Amino acid sequence: MNQELEFKNIVAQYSKVKPEEMTGEMRFREDLGFTSLDFMSFLGELEDTFDIELEETEVTQITTLEEALKLLEELQ
């Protein structure tokens, strides 16, 4: 499974949007319906799945799927 698909599958666990319907411009809160708790749980799952460590200063800047994917690629 490629990284983007695995990422979108994790996002889908917290949203009603299917992975194949997601676009990079989608925003976590507005378009995907994430709550603050959803977002924090999602970040923890990303760290575990991709064996990365996210800094609070980095993640507070993320609003779209594209931004999150770019950060994920930079950390790997």
Residue whose structure tokens are 């923890």? 44
CA–CA separation, 13 and 27 (whole Å): 15
Residue 76 Cα distances to 5, 25, 32, 52, 64, angstroms: 16, 22, 25, 7, 19
CA–CA separation, 51 and 16 (whole Å): 26
Q: What are the pLDDT digits (tens) for 25-73?
A: 999 999 999 999 999 999 999 999 999 999 888 888 899 999 999 999 9
- What pLDDT is stored for residue 31 in this prediction? 96
CA–CA separation, 35 and 50 (whole Å): 22
pTM: 0.89
CATH of the domain at 26: 1.10.1200.10
Q: How many structural domains does the chain have?
A: 1
What is the residue range of 16's domain? 2-75
